[in-house]
């Protein structure tokens, strides 16, 4: 039964459509979150953002672990690129991982108060 579902053409098509949608909207997440919440500072350090090229949208629950949240601006934070790179290297993929990372590095955890699980 599981194999039938995995290889079912309709389900495969649905998965491919969603994957295409995720890839289409992911590049817009940073701009959308910044504009929607009027973000002017790194959400971890509080450093002023004078150039949006210095920051990235970091998923709280990663696309791999929670694909259904992949294109939600509420499933992410705007943080400095170097912090995002460090988190990626350290395989930070979940809310809990990100919260622990912030506590260990003395970063703000205000973002966690607003996160809806």
pLDDT tens for residues 4-31?
A: 545 656 545 444 555 666 677 778 999 9
Mean pLDDT of the chain: 86
Cβ–Cβ under 8 Å, residues 29 and 75: no
Contact 22, 62 (CB under 8 A): no
H or E element: which one contains 96? helix 95-104
Integer Cα distance of 76 and 85 in angstroms: 15
Domain span including residue 61: 2-113
pLDDT tens, residue by residue, 46-95: 999 999 999 999 999 998 888 888 899 999 999 999 999 999 999 999 99
Instruction: Take residue 52 and report the two structure tokens written for it.
Output: 């949006």
Burial of residue 76 (number of CB atoms within 10 Å: 0-12, 13-18, 19+): buried
Q: How many domains does the chain have?
A: 1
């Amino acid at each position: 039964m599981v194999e039938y579902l995995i290889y079912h053409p309709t389900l495969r098509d649905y998965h491919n459509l969603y994957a295409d949608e995720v890839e289409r909207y992911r590049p817009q997440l940073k701009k959308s979150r910044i504009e929607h919440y009027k973000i002017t500072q790194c959400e971890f350090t509080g450093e002023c953002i004078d150039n949006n090229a210095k920051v990235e949208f970091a998923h709280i629950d990663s696309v791999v672990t929670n694909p259904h949240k992949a294109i939600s601006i509420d499933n992410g934070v705007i943080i400095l690129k170097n912090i995002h790179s460090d988190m990626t290297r350290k395989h930070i993929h979940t809310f809990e991982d990100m919260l622990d990372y912030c506590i260990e590095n003395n970063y703000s955890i205000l973002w966690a108060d607003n996160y809806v699980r």
